[in-house]
Structure 1
């Protein structure tokens, strides 16, 4: 076998090995059934100065929820910037049993008290899944104005 043929064979073998390695993992797993998924039906906020009341209603299989994460950002000058990314400055984490989520059929009511004082906040609520690859339920952003 000539050196050129040997080189061509080695290159072909390398290409086959690389191509075979790419035949595995393509994307995150998806739920076997839509009954396993949960999503936000509604989230409402109200103010009881200096705290914020949050009432949520989660539909779907709420037993798959690992935690509820409330993220808060002082809005300030970025409040009029809808394209600006949400950057959490304070996080509040709750277990489903703390909120009565499972016994309440997906409904909860809680209060958070920000440590960073502002007249306007951006707020986002996320229900995190227990299972890897199962999608989390992320709410839209809410603006909360403190009187």
Structure 2
């Protein structure tokens, strides 16, 4: 009987080397995709932000009444700060920067605050008599990492 041996031709060796090379390259590609800089995922904060705009500001019966429109995600407003600047006897200076003289923080469940969807109403009665004011509001987001939002400045005449 004749023994049967396995003999590889040159063509078979090249094919085997090509297959091994491809397998090695695929393994390296798989391993190398796991390497590199890793970064924590960041939320899309644009969906969590809001802006504030004072639409109306009046003095009625010695009380300041504001109507504020909340543009954006108004559900994320956690509290509001009313900032006041009394206008002195020399009158208003529109070009002057706003300087807070008095600020009052309101939680949204206080009686001075009323909310209807994206509209917020503030009633504040502890103001000086015969005094005009420049007013703005500052809103705090429920997410502490997001900065406070500041509204436009309006003038309220008595």
Instruction: Select 1:125's aligned residue among 124, 127, 137.
Output: 137
Which structure has the greater CA radius of gyration?
A: 2
- State how far apart, in whole Å, the 2-side matches of 1:84 and 1:112 are: 25
Match of 1:3 in 2: none
Please state which structure has a larger fraction of its residues in helix: 1
Aligned-residue CA RMSD (Å): 2.3
Query: Which runs of 5 or more residues in structure 2 are unaligned?
Result: 1-41
Q: Give the length in aligned residue pairs.
A: 115
- State how far apart, in whole Å, the 1-side matches of 2:100 and 2:137 are: 11
- State how far apart, in whole Å, the 2-side matches of 1:61 and 1:111 are: 23
Alignment of 1:42-121 (within 5 A): 42-77=54-89, 79-98=91-110, 99-101=113-115, 104-121=116-133
TM-score (norm 2): 0.61
Shift of 1:135: 3.1
Query: Which runs of 5 or more residues in structure 1 are unaligned?
Result: 1-29
- State how far apart, in whole Å, the 1-side matches of 2:84 and 2:132 are: 10
TM-score (norm 1): 0.65
1:45-102 superposed Cα distances (whole Å, 9 cap, x missing partner):
122131111111212222322211111111115643233232222222211233343x
- State how far apart, in whole Å, the 1-side matches of 2:90 and 2:48 are: 37
- State how far apart, in whole Å, the 2-side matches of 1:64 and 1:78 are: 40
Match of 2:30 in 1: none
Q: Does 1:37 align with 2:31?
A: no
